[in-house]
Amino acid sequence: MCLQKVDSLVTIQATLGNLTNKVATCMNIGETIRTYRLQKGMSQGDIEKRTGLLRCYLSRVENGHTIPSLDTLSKIAGAMELPLGQFFTDHLSNGSAKNLPPLTEDEVRFLTQIRRYSMGLNDSDRKLVLTMVKKMAAGAGK
Q: Do 14 and 49 lie in a common domain?
A: no
Domain that holds residue 42: 28-90
Residue 73 domain-assigned (yes or no): yes
Model pLDDT, residue 7: 54
CA distance 114 to 120: 11
Residue 122 domain-assigned (yes or no): yes
Residue 67 domain-assigned (yes or no): yes
CA distance 67 to 106: 20
Percent of the chain scored above 90 by pLDDT?
A: 24
| 72 contact partners, CB below 8 Å, separation of at least 6 | 53, 61
Residue 95 domain-assigned (yes or no): no
| 68 contact partners, CB below 8 Å, separation of at least 6 | 29, 61, 76
Q: Do 34 and 70 lie in a common domain?
A: yes
Q: Identify which of 98, 72, 102, 100 has the alpha carbon closest to the alpha carbon of residue 85.
A: 102
Q: Do 77 and 108 lie in a common domain?
A: no
Q: Do 37 and 70 lie in a common domain?
A: yes
Count up the domains in the chain and report the number: 2
In Å, how far from its chain's centre is CA 90? 9
Q: Do 126 and 106 lie in a common domain?
A: yes
Instruction: State the pLDDT confidence band at 11, using cuts at 50, 70 and 90.
Output: low
Q: Do 118 and 138 lie in a common domain?
A: yes
Q: Do 15 and 62 lie in a common domain?
A: no
CB 85 within 8 A of CB 107: yes
CB 83 within 8 A of CB 102: yes
Percent of the chain scored above 70 by pLDDT?
A: 70
Compute CA distances 73 → 39, 124, 126, 127, 131, whole Å.
17, 33, 28, 30, 31
Q: Do 84 and 111 lie in a common domain?
A: no
Q: Do 40 and 69 lie in a common domain?
A: yes
Q: For the segment 24-68, what is each residue's pLDDT rounded down to a tens digit? A: 444 578 888 998 999 889 999 999 999 999 999 999 999 988 888
